[in-house]
Amino acid sequence: MRALVVGASGMLTEVARWLAEQSYQVIVVGRNRAKLERVRDGSRYPHLFTLLPLDYGQTDQLREAMEQLIAEQGHIELVVAWINSTAPEAISTIQQVLSRPKKKWSLYHVCGSRAWIHPPLVQEVAGCSYHRIILGFVCEEKGSRWLNNEEIAQGVIFAIQSKEPQTIVGSVEPWEKRPT
Chain residues that interact with ligand NAP, rule: CB under 6 A: 7-12, 29-32, 35, 55-57, 82, 84, 87, 112-113, 135-137, 146-149, 152
Q: How far is the CB of 8 from ligand NAP (least distance, A)?
A: 5
* Residue with smaller CB distance to ligand NAP, 34 or 103: 34
Element (H, E) at 62: helix 59-73
Nearest residue to 29 via CA among 47, 3, 48: 3
Q: How far is the CB of 48 from ligand NAP (least distance, A)?
A: 18
**How far is 151 from 147, CA to CA, in rounded Å?**
6
* Residue with smaller CB distance to ligand NAP, 48 or 147: 147
* Residue with smaller CB distance to ligand NAP, 67 or 103: 67
One-letter amino acid of 172 = V
Element (H, E) at 14: helix 13-21
**How far is 40 from 48, CA to CA, in rounded Å?**
8
Number of neighbouring beta carbons within 10 Å of residue 116: 19
Q: How far is the CB of 29 from ligand NAP (least distance, A)?
A: 6
Q: How far is the CB of 99 from ligand NAP (least distance, A)?
A: 21
* Residue with smaller CB distance to ligand NAP, 30 or 48: 30
* Residue with smaller CB distance to ligand NAP, 127 or 139: 139
Question: Going by C-beta distance under 8 Å and a sequence separation of 6 or more, which residues neighbour residue 137?
Answer: 113, 144, 145, 146, 147, 170, 171, 172, 177, 178, 179
Q: How far is the CB of 58 from ligand NAP (least distance, A)?
A: 8
CA 88 from chain centre, in angstroms, equals 15
